[in-house]
């Protein structure tokens, strides 16, 4: 059986690969249905408007009520937070996001997202993979799927996580080669790309390693091992990356002072600027984390502080993508694990609320200025009927399906895991109303 190059690994076969192999083997008993499936699987994502994704991950679970889903004049909203008008007609957001408000004609909101996970770690897994945790396997994150389903000649990692928290995006059953490359504040050096010794000595070490691997003894002992460990492939990719000019995309120091000022002088702002530069050189997915949203106490002041960091960075991200003609080809996805309760607790905080929270999307074929779903300004907080207080709800997996669809990826296709289990890339439904 030949290996589908789109899979990038001999351990993972898609149904497309199996159907192709069957055809090549003369298995003419395949039904017309199978032939249609094979043709559908061959559709290239290259015709889709979107090519890349930037995920702005709000670690801790941001309050929707103090960000993108305020209810002005209602008890559900606290007195300090107010709503302001935006460039999108009839769309109100928090007064703590004035710069984002100027770009809401390019951003759409899904205000009634529902999850069954209220624990941070489980909900982070759910929001990043589109699946609930399963003890029998690890699902790939959104960025891993995008990289698995596309190919190009980028010399630096195609999947990057900047300022990652404890749950960085993983390749899951697709393989560790699809894990996100983790890096931190762009004002500092990129980890693990500079040799700890002089470049001549580093080159000598690599040559010695290659000589060891290429001996007859090593070839006999390591026969077939590279197909499992990809050690030779990894070494070659690492060497190419260490000498690539594309590494400059991680460095924001060369940006003009005016551009850097737009994003804000914060690690998150600099990371969003780096994300734009990485997308510009061909990176497929960049996740940037802004932590500090777990506001069980003193919710308003903490959210206000986070919004002061988020507002300029998110707005400048949209603006810079537009100026560089990248917005139409780049989906921007904003959200956290879940939202926050409509009620304020005894210490002025809001607790975990997966029963109707907000995800924001922009670019890449997503129509701006739209709002899907609605939360009640007078919720009953009936735990037995949590969906009573929202309208037109959708699920986390629907967000994933919509993004993958906008990227031209057949998210319903099944990939065979290393243990032979067929798994769909997503089990969600496309939110057609979001698409341009």
403, two tokens:
């993004």
252, two tokens:
């924001």
pLDDT value at position 36? 39
pLDDT value at position 24? 39
Of 312, 252, 315, 240, the closest CA to residue 280 belongs to: 252
For residue 5, give the DSSP letter.
G
CA distance linking residue 322 with residue 153, whole number of Å: 24
Domain extents in the chain: 1-42, 50-190+251-434, 192-246
CATH number 3.40.50.10680 is the correct assignment for the domain at 50-190+251-434 = no
pLDDT value at position 221? 63
pTM to 2 decimal places: 0.85
The angle formed by the CA atoms of residues 272, 147 and 54, to the nearest 5 degrees, is: 20
Of 276, 278, 262, the closest CA to residue 313 belongs to: 262
| Residues 311 and 99 sit within 8 Å (Cβ to Cβ) | yes
pLDDT value at position 35? 38
Burial 330-355 (b: 16+ CB within 10 A, else e): bbbbbbbbbbbbbebeeeebbebbbb
pLDDT value at position 25? 38
Around 229, how many Cα atoms within 13 Å sit in the side-chain half-sphere? 8
pLDDT value at position 12? 54
For the chain, 436 residues long, the average pLDDT of each consecutive 10-residue run is 37 48 39 41 55 98 97 77 94 98 98 97 98 97 97 94 97 96 93 71 72 62 60 65 87 96 98 98 98 97 97 98 98 98 94 96 97 90 74 97 97 96 98 94
pLDDT value at position 360? 99
pLDDT value at position 8? 41
CA distance linking residue 228 with residue 324, whole number of Å: 40
């Amino acid at each position: 059986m030949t290996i589908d190059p789109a899979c990038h690994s001999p351990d993972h076969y898609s149904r497309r690969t199996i159907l192709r192999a069957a055809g090549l083997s003369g298995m003419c008993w395949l039904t017309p249905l199978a032939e249609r499936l094979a043709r559908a699987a061959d559709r290239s994502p290259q015709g889709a408007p979107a090519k890349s994704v930037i995920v702005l991950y709000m670690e801790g679970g941001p309050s929707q009520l103090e960000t993108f889903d305020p209810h002005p004049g209602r008890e559900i909203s606290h007195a300090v937070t107010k709503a302001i008008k935006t460039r999108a007609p009839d769309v109100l957001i928090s007064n703590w996001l004035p710069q984002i408000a100027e770009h809401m004609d390019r951003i759409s909101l899904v205000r009634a997202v529902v999850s069954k996970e209220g624990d941070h770690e489980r909900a982070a897994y759910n929001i990043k993979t589109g699946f609930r945790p399963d003890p029998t396997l690890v699902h790939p994150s959104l960025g891993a799927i995008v990289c698995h389903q596309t190919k190009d000649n980028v010399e630096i990692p195609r999947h990057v996580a900047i300022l990652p928290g404890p749950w960085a995006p993983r390749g899951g059953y697709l393989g560790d080669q699809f894990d996100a490359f983790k890096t931190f504040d762009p004002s500092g050096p990129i980890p693990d790309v500079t040799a700890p010794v002089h470049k001549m000595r580093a080159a000598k070490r690599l040559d010695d390693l290659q000589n060891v691997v290429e001996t007859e003894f090593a070839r006999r002992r390591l026969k077939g091992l590279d197909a499992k460990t990809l050690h030779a492939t990894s070494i070659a990719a690492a060497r190419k990356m260490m000498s690539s000019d594309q590494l400059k995309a991680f460095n924001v120091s060369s940006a003009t002072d005016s551009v850097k000022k737009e994003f804000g002088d914060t690690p998150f702002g600099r990371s969003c600027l780096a994300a734009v530069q990485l997308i510009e050189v061909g990176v497929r997915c960049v996740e940037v984390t802004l932590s500090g949203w777990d506001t069980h106490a003193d919710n308003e002041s903490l959210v206000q502080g986070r919004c002061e960091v988020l507002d300029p960075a998110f707005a400048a991200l949209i603006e810079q993508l537009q100026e560089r003609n990248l917005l139409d080809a780049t989906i921007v996805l904003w959200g956290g694990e879940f939202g926050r309760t409509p009620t304020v607790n005894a210490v002025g905080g809001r607790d975990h609320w997966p029963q109707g929270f907000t995800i924001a999307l922009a670019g890449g074929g997503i129509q701006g200025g739209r709002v899907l779903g609605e939360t009640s300004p007078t919720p009953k907080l009936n735990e037995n009927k949590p969906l009573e207080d929202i309208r037109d709800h959708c699920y986390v997996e629907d967000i994933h399906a919509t993004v993958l669809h906008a990227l031209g990826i057949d998210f319903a296709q099944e990939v065979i895991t290393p243990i032979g289990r067929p798994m769909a890339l997503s089990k969600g439904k496309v939110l057609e109303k979001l698409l341009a």
